[in-house]
Chain A
Amino acid sequence: MEIVVCVKPVPEGETRLRASADGASLDPEAVKFVLAGYDESAVEQALLLKESLPGSKVHAVSLGPAPRTEEVLRAAIALGCDAATWVDSGPAASPDPIDVARALAAALAPLPHDLVLLGKQAGDDEEGLVPAALAEFLGVPDVGHVVDLRWDAGRSRFTFRRAVEAGQETWEAPAPLVVALQQAWNDPRTAKLPAILKSRKVPIARVPPVALVPGVGRSQSVRFELPPPRSGARLVDFQTPEQAAEKLVKLLREEAKVFP
């Protein structure tokens, strides 16, 4: 099976955030970029499928500026991806998410792809738009909120579940398919040192993004604000549990006005 996995470099979860002087962008103080949380799971899922289906290949694709994009692609190779393509977006900030999908689709279209795996949403912009838009540009169906993805070789079908509001749905689909993964593994594999060293020598294909299509709607990020730090909880003082309950309910009803 030919699998493509799209990974996005995002600031590491613990990074403290700070707005730039003009407020127009966000400067992560510590500039450690890592695979977005769900993308780590997408890579893990791709590698599990590859291991269960001999002859499979996993190709990682990422769009972004140097050097972070190349770094996360090397990390994906060190984990076990076979090849990588870097769509070099140049230094331009905050591209429109649909333009990102269009550029990824152009880079991906020539690669064989029975399955394209993405994260449900990236931990930075949290748009969750790229997977479905990418599928549209590729002309392939897409499904989101996917967990437990498997390949049923006998029937040549993917089987999976979707975690949505109403509950867990079971689904099936033939290849090709674009999947936005919602699943998180507790312990996705970590790269071993020899693999990390070897990944430095694997060539990464570098392609320019496609030219912007004129006349389509486009959004631009203009400002980031950090909320004032919460001042900390107002503690309810009480003698008995009953009194604590009574005071809390009163505060929620009369002060916070949230009590239904």
Chain B
Amino acid sequence: MTERVLVVGELLTDRLSGSTVEAIGAGARLAGGASSVVGFLAGATARSRAPEFGRYGVTEVAILEDPACEGAPVAALVTAVVAAATELGTETILLAGTSFGRDLAGRLAARWGATAATGVTEITRVGSTLELRRPVFGGRATETRRIEGGRAVLALRPHAFPSATEAPCETRLRPIVAPAVPELLRAAHRTGLEASPGGAGPGLAEAAVVVSGGRGLRAPENFRLVEELAAALGAAVGASRAVTDAGWRPSSLQVGQTGKAVSPQLYIAVGISGAIQHLVGMMSSRVIVAINSDASAPIFKVADYGVVGDLFQILPALTNEVRRVRGQ
């Protein structure tokens, strides 16, 4: 009998996040079919949104219809996820590789008597052994971890797994009745939310395409050249620390050792020299493009494609070309 895999879903503006859909795909491959994947969804809209799992062939979704777990610490969820996993008799839980999944993984594993890994890019099963691969040291090495049986909580690296294929089906809902979470564990709470600048675009960590600008842009007002290219590509905007330190853009956009780690399909670095502290945040991107006037800039050593030229000329031409081929 194949083992069932539980996928904890995350909603982004009322849809399953792209990373959740990738986790469903990974779970289906691991369990030998989407019908062996069980979804989990929590929050005020859990019941109405659970059928979203059915678009990908998932026939059963455990739900925790509890508005209180929104804007609460992940501890508010863990009891219910464990209850669902126990009811379903699964040994493996997959999570999206977003901040939600990463925050949940450690607590869930500790409670459930599992091991855990994050940033996972490959999973293979040999008998009862799971073998995982994941980049470490900022993408400078790849680690293989082995789990010889027992429970495992795995948070997947965004874009490492293909999305689940669409195979619409009916979903059965399984409301989870979990013991109450002690008041102490849910004591922290959210009091507000400021959407990211350029909020409509994809988040930096999850975006399939990232366009980042550096000091080569020379002044804050020129940064719009980067933003225009990003908009034409439907990409997220990133920045080097030179840019965020100078206050041209908020530090939430910083990519690198002391900023965000990203691993998109395509990373375009514009006017960025490629200091090691920047490289460790983006080196595991699938394809890297560098645009820089200095042919000896270190960024060209890690890039797949390079344009040695003046960004003030190249960028507008590139944005136009992208608009043209995308019919905008």
- A→B interface (CB under 8 Å): 13-14, 17, 19, 26, 37-38, 41, 96-98, 101-102, 123-137, 139-145, 162-174, 177, 180, 184, 186, 213, 215-227, 230, 232-236, 238, 240-242, 244-246, 248-249, 251-253, 256, 258-260
Contacts and interface: CB of A to CB of B under 8 A. Distances in A.
16 contacts: A13-B257, A13-B276, A97-B115, A98-B106, A127-B118, A127-B119, A131-B106, A132-B103, A136-B107, A164-B100, A166-B12, A216-B150, A217-B149, A219-B116, A232-B301, A249-B322
B110 A123 contact: no
Contacts of B116: 97-98, 127, 129, 133, 219
A96 B148 CA distance: 12
Given A144-B99, A165-B205, A233-B303, A258 B317 contact: no
Contacts of B302: 230
Given A230-B302, A258-B266, A102 B194 contact: no
B38 interface: no
B189 A258 contact: no
B110 A219 contact: no
Given A17-B141, A97-B106, A245 B318 contact: yes
B144 interface: yes
Contacts of A168: 193-194, 196, 252
Interface in B84-121: 91, 98-100, 102-107, 109-111, 113-119
A253 B214 CA distance: 25
Nearest to A96: B115
A233 B306 contact: yes
Given A137-B110, A141-B187, A167 B193 contact: yes
Nearest to B181: A141
A141 to B, nearest CB: 4
B318 A249 contact: yes
Interface residues of B, number: 106
Contact of A164 (B99, B142, B314): B99
Contact of A139 (B185, B192, B234): B185
B308 interface: yes
B6 interface: no
A243 to B, nearest CB: 8
Contact of B280 (A13, A102, A141): A13
Given A128-B106, A223-B143, A258-B265, A163 B252 contact: yes
B288 to A, nearest CB: 8
A48 to B, nearest CB: 17
Contacts of A128: 102, 105-106, 118
Contact of B320 (A165, A166, A245, A256): A245
Nearest to A186: B245
Given A13-B280, A173-B73, 7 more contacts: A129-B116, A162-B190, A170-B192, A216-B150, A223-B143, A249-B322, A258-B265
Interface of B: 12, 71, 73-75, 78, 91, 98-100, 102-107, 109-111, 113-119, 131-132, 134-152, 184-196, 199, 203-206, 208-209, 233-234, 245, 252, 257-259, 261, 265-266, 276-277, 280, 286-290, 295, 300-309, 313-314, 316-318, 320-322, 325-326
B79 to A, nearest CB: 11
A216 to B, nearest CB: 4
Contacts of B102: 128, 144
Contacts of B138: 123, 126
Contact of A126 (B12, B78, B136, B317): B136
A132 B314 contact: no
Nearest to B154: A219
B205 A245 contact: no
B192 A132 contact: no
B147 A218 contact: yes
A241 B309 contact: yes
B317 A101 contact: no
B115 A241 contact: no
- Among A98, A137, A245, the one with the most B-chain Cβ atoms within 10 Å of its Cβ is A245
A136 B305 contact: no
B99 A167 contact: no
Q: A-B pairs with the 3 shortest C-beta distances?
A: A217-B150, A165-B203, A173-B188
A140 B184 contact: yes
B110 A136 contact: yes
A226 B187 contact: no
